[in-house]
Amino acid sequence: MIRPILIHPDPRLKKVCDPVAEITPEIRTLAADMLETMYDAPGIGLAAPQVGVTKRVIVMDCIKEGDPEPIALVNPQIVWSSEDLSTYEEGCLSIPEQYAEVKRPAEVKVRWLALDGTEQERQFSGLWATCVQHEIDHLDGKLFIDYLGPLKRQMITRKMEKLKRERARA
């Protein structure tokens, strides 16, 4: 089921999300819905708070061509970050059509709980590394625009307020 995506500014996007105690059918449904919502948007990553659920769940698929590689990460934790940084032009489904360059560690090792209840660990690089850090930030109430200067951030926030007013009228 496709769920509506919250648009910034929204207090639910600023909350620190709760860890998931165990993988329940509800969590599996949430992850499946999030993947469907992400592919529909379309996007390469989505965090539970973006669909109004303040739980530590993210989904991603950074394969642009070829077979899809959907993954769902519950309680993801960065356990190692490279000193090398890389810069990507980031966007966010909660901040439509706004993009800005953000510098982050080029590689990260992440540990998480998979939907089958097993603990997983994987090293991410390239776009996957940027995406997983962006999504984990969402679980701590942080958006990519928080890395920008105050003027740029305010400009984007005003555009989003305007977009929300327009959508509310439509």
Is residue 59 at the binding interface for Ni ion, with CB under 5 A as the rule?
A: no
99: phi then psi, degrees, rounded to nearest 5: -135, 145
42 prior amide bond cis, ω within 30: yes
To 5 degrees, how large is the angle CA 103–CA 45–CA 153? 45
**Cα 111 to Cα 122: distance, rounded to the nearest angstrom:** 7
**Cα 71 to Cα 87: distance, rounded to the nearest angstrom:** 23
For the CB of residue 49, give the shortest distance to Ni ion in the complex, in Å. 9
Helix, strand, or coil here: 86? strand
* Binding residue for Ni ion, selected from 17, 51, 59, 92, defined by CB under 5 A: 92
Give the type of residue at 108.
Answer: V
For the CB of residue 94, give the shortest distance to Ni ion in the complex, in Å. 6
Q: Which stretch binds Ni ion (CB under 5 A): 22-30, 51-59, 77-85, 88-96?
A: 88-96
Q: Which stretch binds Ni ion (CB under 5 A): 58-66, 73-81, 92-100, 152-160?
A: 92-100
Q: Which residue is nearest to Ni ion (CB)?
A: 92
Active site residues: 135
Q: What is the binding site for Ni ion (CB under 5 A)?
A: 92
